[in-house]
Amino acid sequence: MSNLPATFKDAIVMARRLGFRYLWIDALCIIQDDLEDWRREATRMCSIYEGATLSLSAIDSPSSSTGFLHPRDTECTAVRVGESYVGIRHPVSHPKHAIPSRAVETRAWTLQERVLAPAVLHFASQQLFWECCAGFASESSPRVERVPVGENNSYYGVSVHDMKVSVRNQAMAAGYDTANLWYQLVEEYTQRDLTRPGDRLPAIDGLSESFARYLPEHKYLSGLWFSSLHVGIWCSVSGGQDKNCLVPNDRVVPSWSWASVQLPVQFQCKYPRPGSHILTPRAQFSIPLGGRKETGLQLGHDGITLEIQAEMKQGVCYQASSVRGNCNFLTSSSRWLLDGIKCTMDHAEDNVREGYVFPKEYYCILVSEKHFTEQIGSQQGTLTGAGTKYYLVLENLSAASTDECDIYKRVGIGWQDFWPGDENAVFADAKERTSWLG
C-alpha cells in the first residue's frame, strides 16, 4: 500500500469500506509497458465496465497522485436566529450541473467508463454524487432524481447521462436510432483529451463492442459503421486546417475516418428527426477483398480501403475568405467565380491569402443529399424541392490516372444548397465512377 499513488490507496480504502472483495484498476491490471498485454486487455473494456457492480469516479482528481478522500471545507457563516445560531454555507451544485464541468470529464478514456458502468459513485471535493440509469442523487439531494432529457446538455446538445441511459437501457434494441447515438458519443468523445494520440480508436473500442450487439449485421470500420457511412464519412473538423493535427499511430487510420485527426469533429449529416428532412445516400460503398495491397500504399485501417461508386467531378479550390481552409470548389462547367461548392479543407496550408488558387487538382464526390420537408394539409413529410448536397473533397494518390480505380484520400468536405428550379452547373456533367478511398 505504501508504494501506491494516493488515488489508488483511496480507491482500496473505499472498496473495503463498501464491502467489495475485488477492485479493478486499469493501471495495475494492465501491464503498462507490455504492448501485447495492453492490446489484449483493451478489447475487454466493454465487459469490464458493464460487468462491474460499482465504478468509483474521482471527478476532482487531476492525476493518480492527488487522491480523492480529502478533508472538506467546513467554513460557514454563523447567523443568529432568535436565541440560536445557524451555520449557512454556499449551495452545492446539483450533479447534473456539477459533473460535466469536473476534471475527469475532460479525459477521453473516461467516457466509455461512465457510459457503460451500471452505477457510478462520483467523489467531489465537497460531497458525493450518485449516478445510475434511474437518475442522479447527492448528499445534499439524497433522493434519486431523473434528469429530463436536454437539461444536462453537452456542447453538442446531448448529455453524457442521456447517452448512458440509452446504451444501458438497451433502447437500441427497441428501434432506437443507433447511428445518431453513436455519432453523438463520438462528438462528445473527440472534445476530450488524450495523453497518447495513438489511443484515438482504442479508447472508444469498449463502446463499439457494446454497439456491435445491437448491430450484428453491420461492420465496424475505424470508428464508423458501414451501414451509415454516408452519414459518418461526412464530418467537419472543428478548428482544423492544422497540418500537425494528424494522428500518429502504429495502425494506419484512413483519411475518411474522424479518428485520423486529433481535433473535435461534428457530424452535420446525422439522421434527421421525423418530419424535418430526408437524408438520401448518393454514394454506394463496398469493402474490396485484399485491400489493394499490391499498390504498395498502406491505406485504410488494417490494410482496408473503401470502394465508392458515386458522381465525381475534377476541379480546383480557391481560398474564398480570410478564414483558413474556407474554399470554393470550381469546375470547368462553373458559370462564374461564385458558382462553386463551398468546402472546408481539413489541413490547409499556412499563410494562404483570400483568392489564392491551390495548385493541386482536386476531386469532389457526391456522398448524400438532404431534402427539406413540410406539412401540407393532412400530408406529412412533403418534399419542398429544397435541400443540401454533401460532398467529399479528394486528392488523387495514384501515380497516373487510369480508366481503372484510382486511389484517393480525403482532404476536405463540401456542401451546396439547392432550391426548386436551381441548376447545379458545377456538377452538370459529372460522371459516376468507382474509386478507392484510403
Residue 99 has pLDDT above 80, yes or no: no
- CA dihedral sign, ordered 233, 239, 243, 246: negative
Share of the chain above pLDDT 90, in %: 17
Q: Which amino acid is at 279?
A: L
Q: Which helix or strand (DSSP H or E) is residue 384 part of? A: strand 379-396
- CA dihedral sign, ordered 242, 243, 248, 251: positive
* pLDDT tens-digit series, residues 373-387: 765 555 555 666 788
Residue 154 has pLDDT above 70, yes or no: no
pLDDT at position 80 is: 84
**In whole angstroms, how large is the CA radius of gyration of the chain?**
25
Of residues 15 and 286, which shows the higher confidence score? Answer: 15
Residue 369 has pLDDT above 60, yes or no: yes
Residues 307 and 283: beta-carbon distance below 8 Å? no
The CA distance from 338 to 354, in Å, is 13
* SS3 at position 101: helix
Nearest to 221 by CA among 212, 264, 261, 213: 212
Share of the chain above pLDDT 70, in %: 76
Residue 352 has pLDDT above 60, yes or no: yes
> Concatenated DSSP letters for 397-414?
-SSS--SS--EEEEEEEE
Which residues lie below 8 Å from residue 25, measured CB to CB, with a gap of 6+? 8, 11
pLDDT at position 367 is: 94
> Concatenated DSSP letters for 38-96?
HHHHHTTHHHHHHH-S-EEE-TT-SSTTS-S--------EEEEETTEEEEE-PPPPPHH
Mean pLDDT score, 183-200: 86
* pLDDT tens-digit series, residues 393-409: 999 987 655 556 688 98
Length of the chain counted residue by residue: 438
Which of 242-251, 292-301, 309-318, 345-354 reaches the highest mean pLDDT?
Answer: 309-318
Residue 313 has pLDDT above 50, yes or no: yes
Distances (CA, A) of 170 to 167, 175, 282, 420: 5, 10, 31, 42
* pLDDT tens-digit series, residues 101-125: 677 788 888 888 888 999 999 998 8
**For all residues of the chain together, what is the average pLDDT?**
79
pLDDT at position 155 is: 37
Q: Quick one: pLDDT band at residue 96, thresholds 50, 70, 90?
A: low
What secondary structure, in 3-state letters, does 112-180 show? HHHHHCCEEEEECCCCEEEEECCEEEECCCCCCECCCCCCCCCCCCCCHHHHHHHHHCCHHHHCCCHHH
* pLDDT tens-digit series, residues 204-259: 888 888 888 776 667 888 899 888 888 889 888 765 445 455 555 445 688 889 98
Residues 265 and 235: beta-carbon distance below 8 Å? yes
pLDDT at position 336 is: 66
Q: Which amino acid is at 319?
A: Q
Which of 10-24, 43-57, 61-75, 288-302 reaches the highest mean pLDDT?
Answer: 10-24
Nearest to 284 by CA among 315, 311, 260, 257: 311
CA atoms within 13 A on the CB side of 320: 17
Residues 271 and 231: beta-carbon distance below 8 Å? yes
Nearest to 369 by CA among 307, 325, 427, 408: 427
The CA distance from 433 to 363, in Å, is 12
The CA distance from 426 to 414, in Å, is 12
